[in-house]
A and B are shown apart, each in its own frame.
Chain A
Amino acid sequence: MSGYTIIPSQISSLPWKIIFLLIALASFGTTILYSAADGNLQPWAGPHMVRFLIMLAGAIIMSRFSLDFWKAITFPVYLSVLLMLVGVEVVGSLGGGSQRWLNLGFMRLQPSELMKPAVVIAVAWFYDRLPPSRSADLVSLIPPLVLMALPAILVLLQPDLGTTLAIIFGGIVVMFLAGLPLKWFTISGAILAALIPVAYFFALEPYQQRRVTTFLSPEDDPLGAGYHVNQSAIAIGSGGFSGKGFLNGTQSHLDYLPEGHTDFVFATMAEEWGMIGGLATIFGFYLLLRWGLKVSTNSASRFGKLVAAGLTCTIFFYIAVNLMMVMGLAPVVGIPLPFLSHGGSSMMTIMICVGIIMAIERQPKSSNGKFA
């Protein structure tokens, strides 16, 4: 078909289906942010769309690079992001307070966001090189755990529990897919479950503890820590089946819903678009994730498989945790909703994930790496 058109093959060969899906999701997000600002493009909707388009272009450019290129830069990238995380800590302690970003002059870079895809690629890179016969050795477990633990500890120090969990989640998923013995996961899962109460009392900051207790019973403290969750449920519930209509949300416009343009953007949307809008959004995400996993299974290279699936799961982690938080199924951890929430760093992470998955889709037949 492409042979008969005048469109250059570079353009016609682009994964248009997924690009349209992304544009649709981001446009919907822009619409919601437009309403959240009482019908104004500023301060959120306009920048959101512009940022998306720039990053989409970036993702398409990323997809032109070969998988070998990504493989080659994996470790340097991982190391430099790790150094940036250390840098954030140093700057923070010098400045006398916790800080999550580095000021590069033209933008504020949040290295912990970059670390989410970086960890996935790094762990995948390791298992790509590990011979299958060694995959059940306990020794083979150490390097990826170190790869995950270093950034996880640095991010936890910030402290940013949500991002820490996202980093660990991405790494674990790749390890799971790499074929490590299942009992390792079940045993460590059991140990982890036993450690949760200990972690609650000794590792969490008081404000994080409060979020957990609030999650368990938000009605106990409707004006305090439970306020976010309650107001979010009110926004979604009062939206009903078809919503209150565009620009007619009261929870968001009268400021009852906090963070209505960032973490709780889904509630802002659901209030005006109702269950229809909510299920449509979830369906859009379903298509995105299905595409990601399909790319993974279709990829001939082990690296491609692991990276595509790992990055898809990273995107899934954002979506699932955010939606569960918004609906009161998970504690309030500051994780934004991809394509809908306003915010540059997280959108960059997602678009980097998408760009790399698109690169894997373009070249299913890449060779597997080997340890020398």
Chain B
Amino acid sequence: MAIKTVIGKKNKGGGTGLSAAKQEFSFTRRAMFIGGVQAVFGLAIGARMTYIAVAEKEKYTLLSESNRVNLTLVPPRRGWFIDKAGKPIATNRTDFRVDIIPDRLVNKDKTVATLAQLLSLDDDEVTRINKELEQSNGFQPVQVASGLDYEDFALISVRLPDLPGVSPRQGFSRYYPSGAAVGHLLGYVGAVSAEEYAQERNPLLITPGFKIGKDNLEKQFEEELRGEPGAKRVEVTARGKIVRELSSREDTPGKPVQLTIDIDLQNYSARRLGLQSGSVVVIDCITGDILTMASMPSFDPNSFSDGIGVSEYAWLRESEKIPLLNKTLQGLYPPGSTLKPLAALALLEAGVSAEETVYCSGGYTLGNRRFNCLGHHGSISMADAIKRSCNTYFYAMGRRIGYDKIAPIARELGLGQEFDLPFTSQYYGTVPDSEWLRKKHNRRWSAADSLNAVIGQGYVLTSPFQLAVMSARIASGRKLYPNILAGKTKAAPKLPYSDEHFAIARDGMFRVVNAPGGTAGRGRLPLDDIQMAGKTGTAQVRAIKRGERQSTEWKYRDHGLFVCFAPYDNPRYAASVVIEHGGGSGAAYPIARDILTYIYDQEKALESLNALETSWGGTIEQRMTRDLERYRNRENEASSSIDDASNSNGEDNEETNSTANENET
């Protein structure tokens, strides 16, 4: 600055021209100025260099390392689910898989087409891949195929330079040996969704092949099951070529989770449900351990975990038997007569004598309304009223004490309750009373309401799981807490009701199965020393007018229910079986009988099951495969007939039609 002003003054003084001497002097000054400017630049550059290389060294060293080193996470092996005996329920199997990282794709259509051709993927799969690619947010891997054999895997691996964005990997995938039988119990695993990644910004979540628990126990125990990822560090060039492997760390598998489930019993129960839509819950009457929770039909968690195909999902969603609903916890049904032992207990507690009889003439008249009984039972006592499921007895007695005295005991036995269990959702149903009715419907409780509720109709709704808990609590006389985690048994205090009263209710249930004239006479266990006690129930789906035959249409048939426990004299196992639209309790108690038989005599139970399965057309898996194929053929036929209409020339169409026909016959 100083130099500048000096030079400026010189020039002003020089006027219009300069002498040679002045020019010489001016040159020296200006050359010095230029030298100074250069020096300033030199110093600035040197200072900048020093700053970058010294003050910011750490930052840039880190950036340089993150350039050079490519850290690939190795998804950890997921912890197993094991049953109470240590048998595997969910495991991992080695798996060759291929994913697409959408961000790195160059030519999407060409890449997908090439992969489809190399791996011979069907249209359904290609549709799914394209759909997932569209929905993906770019950095999340989309699964192309898993469970590949080594040849296919190698085929893709050698083509990698021509397939940017494709990532073949050897890893582990979730495997459920029991398939559909544990679908609702465990849930399933799946690739991480954009929302899940937004919640937990963990790089592991977007590693190809990594799966997260999506439902029920798989979801609830995510933390324990996940484990620690391994890591592979490789040096890569800017173009992504791997120069060398630097170091790797093994993954730490997730911890196993031991359940109280008896996987063999679970499988047997699921199989025994056969073609029916229903659920089975078995609870240990000593510990409260849940031994079985089966809801069928179900989905195969193996196909869900592999990324389910579009048509398979549609098939599950469209089925009228609702395979996607966990009926044990989320199915709510009027429990019907299965509540009669509970009502009996409440009557006794309210002071009704077990010896007192009621005369049943086939129904009960309240004002000008007639409440029907299923039979003319004549003069009947409490135990026989349970045995023969006489409505009239319970109408009369229920009206005498009022339902407000029964409801608290129903709740104490587990109805209308939500339990402390690690399942995604439980429906708790309804145990009505006058207070509830006033709040909910702003109406006064009437005697008619008591009459309906006491036989498990009207407003009463329960889940099959609650019925099993009720059964276990009646059988043990204690407030058992259902439990699914091995070793987490909670102390079960005695229920505040008289042992004698419990014994009368249990005696009624014993007669249902074992006494002549009981409603479940064919439910006797085919065993010499073990006897089962139970109670049948039929829940109306649609009111049937007098004289009208039951509807033959499946979805209007009555639900069949059965609650039971065994052995009668020393209760150990309590169960509930609910068959949707089974037509009555006759659909339910033979299943309960076979399941309890299985506990004591597997051979005998399997024998009868094998015979049944042959008549049903194979195992669960075989039947599901066949149904799915049938569904797909029907869909194809529908779409190809549309094609026919729009496009008359079509040898291909004719061909599909003929194959579809073949399958149908």
Genuine A/B complex: yes
Whether A237 and B57, one on each chain, are in contact in the complex, defined by CB atoms closer than 8 angstroms, is yes
Instruction: State whether the Cβ of B608 lies closer than 8 Å to any Cβ in chain A.
Output: no
Whether B30 and A274, one on each chain, are in contact in the complex, defined by CB atoms closer than 8 angstroms, is no
Q: Which chain B residue lies CB-closest to A239?
A: B53
- Of residues 138 through 186 on chain A, the ones whose CB sits less than 8 Å from some CB of chain B are 173, 176-179, 181-183
Whether B57 and A181, one on each chain, are in contact in the complex, defined by CB atoms closer than 8 angstroms, is no
Q: How many Å lie between the Cα of A256 and that of B59 in the bound state?
A: 17
Whether A327 and B57, one on each chain, are in contact in the complex, defined by CB atoms closer than 8 angstroms, is no
Shortest distance from the beta carbon of B37 to any chain A beta carbon, whole Å: 9
Instruction: State whether the Cβ of A275 lies closer than 8 Å to any Cβ in chain B.
Output: yes
Given contacts A179-B26, A234-B60, A254-B237, contact A278 B53 (CB under 8 A): yes
- Of residues 40 through 80 on chain B, the ones whose CB sits less than 8 Å from some CB of chain A are 41-42, 44-46, 48-50, 52-54, 56-57, 59-61, 63-65, 67-68
Instruction: State whether the Cβ of A238 lies closer than 8 Å to any Cβ in chain B.
Output: yes
Shortest distance from the beta carbon of A186 to any chain B beta carbon, whole Å: 8
- A2-10, A85-93, A94-102, A129-137: which lies at the B interface? A129-137
Whether B53 and A237, one on each chain, are in contact in the complex, defined by CB atoms closer than 8 angstroms, is yes
Q: Which chain B residue lies CB-closest to A324?
A: B45
Shortest distance from the beta carbon of B2 to any chain A beta carbon, whole Å: 14
- Please name all residues of chain B whose beta carbon is closer than 8 Å to the beta carbon of A254 when the two chains form the complex: 67-68, 235-238, 243
Shortest distance from the beta carbon of B5 to any chain A beta carbon, whole Å: 9
Q: How many Å lie between the Cα of A254 and that of B243 in the bound state?
A: 9
Other-chain contact of B18, A133, A237, A282, A289 (Cβ < 8 Å): A133
Instruction: State whether the Cβ of B487 lies closer than 8 Å to any Cβ in chain A.
Output: no
- Of residues 1 through 49 on chain B, the ones whose CB sits less than 8 Å from some CB of chain A are 4, 7-8, 11, 14-20, 22-23, 26-28, 30-31, 34-35, 38, 41-42, 44-46, 48-49
Q: How many residues of chain B are within 8 Å of chain A by beta carbon? A: 48
Q: How many Å lie between the Cα of A270 and that of B46 in the bound state?
A: 12
- Please name all residues of chain B whose beta carbon is closer than 8 Å to the beta carbon of A179 when the two chains form the complex: 11, 18, 22-23, 26-27, 30
Other-chain contact of A136, B15, B28, B41, B59 (Cβ < 8 Å): B15
Other-chain contact of A182, B11, B44, B239 (Cβ < 8 Å): B11
Shortest distance from the beta carbon of B478 to any chain A beta carbon, whole Å: 67
Shortest distance from the beta carbon of A302 to any chain B beta carbon, whole Å: 8
- Please name all residues of chain B whose beta carbon is closer than 8 Å to the beta carbon of A324 when the two chains form the complex: 41, 45
Whether B17 and A173, one on each chain, are in contact in the complex, defined by CB atoms closer than 8 angstroms, is no
Q: Which chain A residue lies CB-closest to B55?
A: A237
Whether B52 and A237, one on each chain, are in contact in the complex, defined by CB atoms closer than 8 angstroms, is yes
Instruction: State whether the Cβ of A297 lies closer than 8 Å to any Cβ in chain B.
Output: yes
Other-chain contact of B31, A256, A286, A296 (Cβ < 8 Å): A296
Instruction: State whether the Cβ of A66 lies closer than 8 Å to any Cβ in chain B.
Output: no
Q: Which of A254, A289, A313 has the most CB of B within 10 A?
A: A254
- Please name all residues of chain A whose beta carbon is closer than 8 Å to the beta carbon of B8 when the two chains form the complex: 182-183
- Please name all residues of chain B whose beta carbon is closer than 8 Å to the beta carbon of A137 when the two chains form the complex: 16-17
Instruction: State whether the Cβ of A75 lies closer than 8 Å to any Cβ in chain B.
Output: no
Whether B18 and A136, one on each chain, are in contact in the complex, defined by CB atoms closer than 8 angstroms, is yes
Whether A135 and B17, one on each chain, are in contact in the complex, defined by CB atoms closer than 8 angstroms, is yes
Q: How many Å lie between the Cα of A234 and that of B17 in the bound state?
A: 53
* B630-650 near A? 1/0 per residue, CB < 8 Å: 000000000000000000000
- Of residues 291 through 319 on chain A, the ones whose CB sits less than 8 Å from some CB of chain B are 293, 296-297, 302, 305, 309, 313, 316
- Please name all residues of chain A whose beta carbon is closer than 8 Å to the beta carbon of B22 when the two chains form the complex: 132, 179
Given contacts A132-B20, A329-B48, contact A176 B34 (CB under 8 A): yes
Whether B49 and A236, one on each chain, are in contact in the complex, defined by CB atoms closer than 8 angstroms, is yes
Q: What are 22 residue pairs bridging A and B, where the CB atoms are less than 8 Å apart in the complex?
A: A132-B20, A135-B18, A136-B15, A177-B31, A179-B11, A182-B11, A235-B64, A237-B56, A237-B60, A237-B63, A255-B237, A270-B49, A274-B53, A278-B46, A278-B53, A282-B49, A285-B42, A290-B35, A293-B34, A296-B31, A316-B41, A320-B41
